[in-house]
A and B are shown apart, each in its own frame.
Chain A
Amino acid sequence: MAQEYKLILKHADEPGYTPDIECYLRHGGYDSLRKALTVPVVELSDGKKKSAQEQIREDVMKSGLRGRGGAGFSCGLKWSFVDRRSGKPIYLICNADESEPGTFKDRQIIHKDPHQLIEGMIISCFANDVKLAYIYIRGEMPKGAKILNQALKEARAKNLLGKNILGTGYDLEIHVHRGAGAYICGEETGLIESLEGKRPYPRIKPPYFPAVLGLYMCPTIVNNVETLCNVKHIVGMGGAEFAKLGTPNNTGTRIVSLSGQVKRPGYYEIEVGKATLGQLIHDPEFGGGLLDGRKLKAVIPGGSSSKVLKAGEKFKLKRKVDGKDVEERPIFLIFLMISIRFSKRAP
């Protein structure tokens, strides 16, 4: 039977869990960061050395983590494209623009467990030699921006951020940057233009691949909120262990945003590939079925760039939800249920 598996949202909805750093620390917060910062350098047989950073990047590759921002691109591979030889600074941007119709997962993380994101970011920055990073949050989340700023302040006060983090000699600063109501800012090159203080017109690839020519024409990593949270768990449990969650080609968990005319709309975290669309819609622990008097007409399994599945396409409903299987193109794993009512016209 399909069931929830809570990794990212493990604590968020627990009674008494608060977004402040003390609560986060009581729940083992920043242990993964401490672990990452103290990974010993490994001496290879040929006399070469492998740094902590390289080892973490390898572990993320091994974990099989795919981006949670939409395209589902391998996180480890994306990091491996970063131009580390140019001598230019490397930037990291957390994409918290969450504007894709039907997605409402990043808001939950930011509001309820902001330090999880910040810990994931600090580790990701450390692994990629990033000294300056930004959280690009959509303008319509002013509360979220305040919560993040407060959390960053708390992290700075504990020397988890800023100069010489925990005495390791590593410096990092993270700032919150607010968008102002434009959906296209979620697209990574548009986001970068916006962060440069311009209109968010997307850049043409090639040549503007962020890993090489990103923010200020420097190598830049853009990752989604949920992706960066996962990095914390990969370091915590080890990439190989993480890869056991989900399916071999698509690992970990996914926060599914279920909305529309179901009895229990909401966000549900599942192991990737361990629930079918039908289960998500009908099972009592997920959607609980359609609202009374309604008949399924269509399902949108992703954002506006995904295909609308008509109710007649029964075989689709049996497919497993694992980002890649349903369609090769971007899948946002959002379910908008469109249904019709028998008796009355829809409002």
Chain B
Amino acid sequence: MSFSIPAGLEAEIDELITHYPVRRSASLMLLHAIQEHFGWVSPEAVQWTAAKLGLEPINVHELLTFYPMFRQAAPGRHQIKVCRTLSCALGGSHALHRHVCERLGLDAGAHGLQTTKDGKFSVEFVECLAGCGSAPVMMCGDDFHEGVSGKKADEILGGCK
């Protein structure tokens, strides 16, 4: 399988590298840029990133396995993150998570990221999203939603194309 980084993305990456006096520092930002483009970070992308930054592939791979936001397999096109930390738990986040999973035909009791068969949605629990005052909160892609009732969740899911 051939792996290639489009010119526009590479230009963005080259610019990001200039932000740091030491190339390795750009690792996380590069992985974000790559993941935003491809949806996940493949082993080929790890090799490419390591070569770009003058690192060993393990230096990049160990970031993927540590930082929860990076994906080693393609997730759904729309990623739902439901906060399960205390304030949200008190505010009904578990009921919200169950509601979202049931609506999408996912197992709310299963551990980790759950993806629908058609690859449209992924759902997971995450820790405090710094929105505790308007619990329960969830993210859909880059969008942050507060005070999410079942009805509001339905609208958010319905708005995903």
Contact = CB atoms under 8 A, between A and B. Distances in A.
A102 B132 contact: yes
B67 A182 contact: yes
Contacts of B144: 143
A101 B28 contact: no
Interface string A43-80: 00000000000000000000000000000000000000
B32 A141 contact: no
A320 interface: no
B29 A107 contact: no
B76 to A, nearest CB: 17
A177 B87 contact: no
A104 B69 contact: no
Q: Which residue among B26, B59, B87 has the maximum number of chain A CB atoms within 10 Å of its CB?
A: B87
A143 B144 CA distance: 9
A98 B90 contact: no
Contact of B25 (A98, A197, A200, A266): A197
B155 interface: no
Nearest to B144: A143
Contacts, number: 126
B142 interface: yes
Contacts of B66: 182, 199-200
A196 B21 CA distance: 10
Interface string A310-339: 000000000000000000000000101110
A102 B21 contact: no
Interface string A128-171: 00001000001111110000000000000000000000000000
Interface stretch (B3-11, B110-118, B123-131): B123-131
Contacts of B94: 347
B51 interface: no
A99 B62 contact: no
B108 interface: no
Contact of A194 (B28, B86, B131, B135): B28
Nearest to B31: A180
Interface stretch (A7-15, A18-26, A27-35, A256-264): A256-264
A311 to B, nearest CB: 15
A266 B142 CA distance: 22
A138 B32 CA distance: 12
Interface string A198-219: 1110000000000000001000
Interface of A: 98-104, 106-107, 132, 138-143, 175, 177-183, 194-200, 216, 257-261, 265-267, 300, 334, 336-338, 346-347
B44 to A, nearest CB: 20
A153 B143 CA distance: 22
A195 B95 CA distance: 37
Contact of B63 (A177, A199, A216, A260): A199
Contacts of B27: 197-198
Given A140-B139, A257-B133, A180 B32 contact: yes
Contact of A181 (B20, B53, B67, B132): B67
B129 A140 contact: yes
A194 B31 CA distance: 13
A180 B67 contact: yes
B57 interface: no
B77 interface: no
Contact of A132 (B21, B32, B132, B135): B21
Contacts of B129: 140
A335 B119 CA distance: 39
A99 B127 contact: yes
A106 B129 CA distance: 12
8 contacts: A99-B127, A177-B19, A181-B68, A200-B66, A259-B133, A300-B86, A336-B86, A336-B90
B130 A260 contact: no
Contacts of B31: 180
B105 to A, nearest CB: 23
A199 B87 CA distance: 28
A175 B31 CA distance: 17
A93 B158 CA distance: 40
B75 interface: no
Interface in B126-161: 126-135, 139, 142-144
A100 B85 CA distance: 10
Contacts of B143: 143
A299 to B, nearest CB: 12
B40 interface: no
Given A102-B86, A102-B87, A139 B67 contact: yes
B63 to A, nearest CB: 7
Given A138-B130, A143-B142, A181-B126, 19 more contacts: A102-B128, A102-B132, A103-B130, A106-B130, A139-B67, A140-B130, A142-B142, A177-B25, A180-B28, A180-B31, A181-B67, A194-B28, A197-B63, A198-B59, A198-B63, A257-B132, A260-B87, A265-B133, A267-B133
